[in-house]
Amino acid sequence: MMCDPLQSLFDDPVKFLAPWFVLVPALVLLASAAAAAVMRNLIHAALCLTLSFIALGIVFIALGAEFVGLVQLLVSVGAVAMVIVFAILLTRPDQLEQSRTALAGLRPAGGAAAAFALLATLLGFIFASPLAGKPLPAAAAAPVAKIGEALMGDHVVALIVTGVLLTAALVGAAVLAMEDRP
Amino acid sequence: MSGLLESAPLALMAWFLGLLGAFGVPAWALEAISALISIGAVIGVFLGLFALASVMERKILARVQNRLGPNRVGPCGLLQPVADGIKMITKEDLVPRGADRVVHFLAPVVMMVPALLVLAILPYGRGMVPAELDAGILFFFAVGAGTEVAVFMAGWGSNNKYSILGAMRAIAQLISYEIPLVMAGVTAAMIAGSLMPSAIVAAQGGFAFGFIPQWFVLTPWGFTAGLIFFIGALAESNRSPFDLPEGESELVAGHLTEYSGFKYATFFMAEYVGMFAICGMLVTLFFGGWQAPLPFLTIVPSWAWFFGKVCAVAFTMIWVRATLPRLRIDHLLAFAWKFLLPMSFAAFFSAACWHFAGRGWAAWLLSLVVVAVPYLAFGSHFSSRFSTSRRTYRFSE
Amino acid sequence: MTLQILLAISAALFALGLAAVLSRSNAVMILIGIELMLGAANLNFIAFWRFSDNPADLTGILFAIFSIAVAAAEAAVGLAIIILAHRNLRSVEADDASQLKG
C-alpha cells in the first residue's frame, strides 16, 4: 500500500538508502565531468576533473570494490591530476581565459553531436539487452588478500609487464621533458 | 584495575548504547550513534592534542634556544591556544583582488578533510579502531594525496606569483617524499601480511627471549624503513628541515601567503592534525602500535601506550625542527630521489631477505648487510660532495 | 540499482569524454577527455564484476587496476609530449602542430 515504501525506510534506512550511496557520487561524477569538458578556464577544468576522479573512486568503493576505489584515488587524484595541473601551469599563455581554448566555430557543435549520437546508440543497446535486466546480487567481497594472490599468481605476467611499462613511461617522460643542455 | 582502565572507553560506549537500546532506539540508529560517538571522541582527542602541541612546540623550541616560551596565559602558558584561537577568529579575512574566490575559499576545507579522514583507520588500543578497513594502509596514502590538491588550490587561488611558485615547490616536495614513505609502509605491510593496521599491530606482538618486544623498528630493515618513514613524515607535514614551502624567510609564506584569520587557522590545524596522524601511522607500522614494550608494563592501558608513543614521536619531530637547518629545494629533491628512494628499495629487499632466510640469526645478519651496503655506498657518494674539514676563510684571517 | 543504470552512467561519462576530445582544441583538454573515457571503461568493468554470478572471479577488478596504472603512464608521457611541443611550437593548440600537413 502507500505506506509500504515508507515502512521499509523506517525499518532499515541504511538498506533503503543503499542505492543512493552509488547514485549520488555518480551524479556528482557526471556533473563534474560535464563541467570539465565545457569549462573555458583550464585550471577550473582540471579541478573539475579532480573532483570527477574523486567521485569515481567513491562510486567504486560504494560498489564494493574498495581496493580499486582507493587505487583510483591514490593514482588518479594524487598523480594524474597533479601532472595535468603542472602541465597547464607550465604551458599556459599569458592570459588563461583569453586564450584560443575558447570553444569556437563548428567544432564544439560537431563534437557534441558525435558524442550524443554515440550516447544514444549505447543507451539503445543497454536498455534493449536481456543481460542487463538482472537484479542486484548479494554484496560481493573482494578481500585484498585474494586480489594479491590473483595478482602474484595467475596474473603475475601482466603485473611485471605493467611494471616495465611504467618504468619505461617514467624514463621516457623524463627524457622528453628534459631541457637540452648546451 | 588495569583491566578496568584498559576497557574503559569501549565499556563506557557499550553501556551508553545499551541504555539507548533499552529506550527502544532501533538497531540502525544505534549503529549510527556509535559511529558518531567514535568520530566525536577521535576528533575531540586530536583537536585537544593540536591545542597542546601548538603551545608545547613553542615552549620546547624556546627551551632548546635558551629562552622561555609563552608563559603569560594560564599556568606555564598552557592556555595559550585559547588566546591564539581568539586572535585567529577575530582577524580580518582578506581575499586578494583578482583571486579566484571559490578556489581560495575551498582550499583550507580540502586541506582539513584528508587530515581528519585518516584518523579513522588508526588502532588506538586493543579493539579500538573507528573503521576497520581491509585496505587501511592504502586508505591512508590515498586520502593523503588530497593534501597535494589543497596545496595547489591554495597557491593558485591566491593570484600571487610567490604563492604559485611556493605551491609548485610544495607539491614537488610532497610527491617526491611520498614514494619512499609508501615503500617503507609497504615493507611493514609485506612482513605483517596484511594491509589492515590492526593486523600489522598484532604481528608485532609477543616478546623475544621473554623481554625484547618484537617491534619492526628493532630489526635492521625495520629500523631503516622506520627512519625513512620518519623523514618522509617530516616532509609530508612540511616541517623543518623540509619547511621550505612555508618558511618565512623564503617565499614569504609560500602557498599560504594570502591567507589570514580563520582560514590560516584551518591550515595550521590541518598541518598539526596531519602531523599527529602520520605519527600515529609510524607508531602503528613500526613501533608496535598499542603494544607495551616490556611484559610487566602491560598494566598500563593500550590506548595510553599508543598516545604516549605518538607524543614521543611528535616530541622528536619538534626536537628535529629545533636542531636542524632548513634544506634548499634542490638539495631536498636530490635527497629524496637519489638517497631515500634507493634506501627504501634496499629496506624492502632486506625485509624480503629476512623473511625468506627463515627469520633466524643468519637472516638478521643478511638483512643487516643488505641494508648497510647501499647506505654506505649512497652515503659516501653524498658526503663526498660536501667537505667536512675545517673551513678556511679567504679574507677574515 | 540495476546494471542498466550503471552502464548508462558509464556510457554518459564516455560520451562526455568523447565530446571533450572532439570539441576542444587545447591538447591538455583533449588529454582530460581521454582520462574521462578511461574512467568510464573502468566503471564498466567494476559494474559487470558487481553484477556477475561469480564474484570470486576477480578479473573485472584486476583489469580495472591495470587500466588505472596504464592510464597514469599514458597521461605522464602525453603531458611530457605536450610540454615538449610547447617548448618548440610556443603553443599547445592541437591545430598548431600541423607541420606535417600536406
Q: Does A61 touch chain C (CB under 8 A)?
A: no
Q: Does C72 touch chain A (CB under 8 A)?
A: yes
Name the residue of chain A whose CA is nearest to C34's CA.
A37
Mean pLDDT of chain B: 88
Q: How close, in Å, is residue C99 to chain A by CA atoms? A: 19
Q: Number of Cβ pairs closer than 8 Å across A and B?
A: 66
Q: At what angle do helices B161-192 and A81-90 cross, to 10 degrees?
A: 160
pLDDT of residue B307: 94
pLDDT of residue B361: 86
Give yes or no for a cis peptide into A135 (omega within 30° of 0).
Answer: no
Is B83 inside any structural domain? no
Is B25 inside any structural domain? no
- ∠ CA C75-C7-A117, nearest 5°, is 80
CB–CB contact A132 C3 (8 Å): yes
Position B331 confidence tier, pLDDT thresholds 50, 70, 90: confident
For residues A89 and A15, membership in a common domain is answered with: yes
Q: How far apart are CA C19 and CA A139, in angstroms?
A: 35
Q: Does C13 touch chain A (CB under 8 A)?
A: yes
Position C11 confidence tier, pLDDT thresholds 50, 70, 90: very high
Is B69 inside any structural domain? no
Show which of A59, A94, A129 is a domain's final residue.
A94
Is A50 inside any structural domain? yes
- Segment C4-24 shows an average pLDDT of 93
Name the DSSP class of B395.
S
Which of B33, B149, B175 to probe the A interface (max A CBs under 10 A)? Answer: B149
CB–CB contact C51 A136 (8 Å): yes
Q: How far apart are CA B63 and CA B69, in angstroms?
A: 7
Give the nearest partner residue to B134 out of A66, A77, A82, using CB atoms: A66
**pLDDT exceeds cutoff 80 at A72:** yes
Neighbours of A41 (CB within 10 A): 15
pLDDT digits (tens, 9 = 90+) for B126-175: 888 888 888 999 999 999 888 999 999 988 888 777 788 888 888 999 99
Is A121 inside any structural domain? no
Position C65 confidence tier, pLDDT thresholds 50, 70, 90: very high
**pLDDT exceeds cutoff 50 at B396:** yes
How many structural domains compose chain B?
1
- Percentage of chain B exceeding pLDDT 90: 47
Which of A42, A56, A77, A91 to probe the C interface (max C CBs under 10 A)? Answer: A91
Neighbours of C51 (CB within 10 A): 22
Q: How far apart are CA B251 and CA B343, in angstroms?
A: 31
pLDDT of residue A5: 61
Domain hosting residue A179, numbered range: 143-182
Give the nearest partner residue to A52 out of C15, C19, C36, using CB atoms: C36
- Segment B379-384 shows an average pLDDT of 79
Domains and CATH numbers, chain C: 3-94 (1.10.287.3510)
The yes/no answer to whether this complex scores an ipTM above 0.90 is yes
- Segment B92-112 shows an average pLDDT of 87
SS3 call for B43: helix
**pLDDT exceeds cutoff 60 at C95:** yes
Q: How far apart are CA B327 and CA B235, in angstroms?
A: 11
- Segment C71-81 shows an average pLDDT of 93
Is B289 inside any structural domain? yes
| Lowest mean per-residue pLDDT among B13-22, B160-169, B359-368, C54-63 | B160-169
Is B78 inside any structural domain? no
Q: How far apart are CA B321 and CA B324, in angstroms?
A: 6
For residues A72 and A12, membership in a common domain is answered with: yes
Is B251 inside any structural domain? yes
Give the nearest partner residue to A142 out of C16, C51, C58, using CB atoms: C58
Instruction: Find residue B208's DSSP bridge partners.
Output: B212
How many structural domains compose chain A?
2
pLDDT of residue B9: 86
Q: Which residue has the cell 634542490?
A: B330
| Lowest mean per-residue pLDDT among A161-170, B277-286, C9-18, C52-61 | C52-61
Q: How far apart are CA A33 and CA A27, in angstroms?
A: 10
pLDDT of residue B388: 65
Q: Does A9 touch chain C (CB under 8 A)?
A: no
- Percentage of chain B exceeding pLDDT 70: 96
**pLDDT exceeds cutoff 70 at A99:** no
- Segment C81-101 shows an average pLDDT of 82
C-alpha cell at B367: 638483512
pLDDT of residue A6: 65
Spatial neighbors of B356 by CB under 8 A, at least 6 apart, are none
Which chains form contacts with chain A, at 3 or more CB pairs under 8 Å?
A: B, C
Is A42 inside any structural domain? yes
Q: How far apart are CA C86 and CA C40, in angstroms?
A: 29
Position B387 confidence tier, pLDDT thresholds 50, 70, 90: low
pLDDT of residue A24: 94
Which of A77, A84, A165 to probe the C interface (max C CBs under 10 A)? Answer: A84
Give the residue, C61 or B73, on which the prediction is more confident: C61
Mean pLDDT of chain A: 84
Give the nearest partner residue to A74 out of B134, B142, B168, using CB atoms: B142
Q: How far apart are CA B382 and CA B394, in angstroms?
A: 26
- Segment C38-67 shows an average pLDDT of 91
Q: Residue C15: list chain A partners with CB under 8 A.
A: 115-116, 118-119, 122
Closest CA to A120 of A110, A112, A108, A130: A112
Instruction: Find residue B212's DSSP bridge partners.
Output: B208
pTM score, whole prediction: 0.91
| Lowest mean per-residue pLDDT among A48-57, A97-106, B71-80 | A97-106
- CATH assignment at residue A39: 1.20.120.1200
Q: What is the CA radius of gyration of chain A?
A: 22
pLDDT of residue B74: 83
Domain hosting residue B198, numbered range: 97-372
pLDDT digits (tens, 9 = 90+) for B177-209: 999 999 999 999 999 999 999 999 999 988 888
Give the nearest partner residue to A144 out of B134, B144, B178, using CB atoms: B134
pLDDT of residue A16: 72
Position B151, amino acid: V
pLDDT digits (tens, 9 = 90+) for B27-60: 888 888 899 999 999 999 999 999 999 999 999 9
Which of C58, C59, C93 to probe the A interface (max A CBs under 10 A)? Answer: C58
- HSE at residue B27, side-chain half, CA atoms within 13 A, is 4
Contact B194, A145 (CB under 8 A): yes
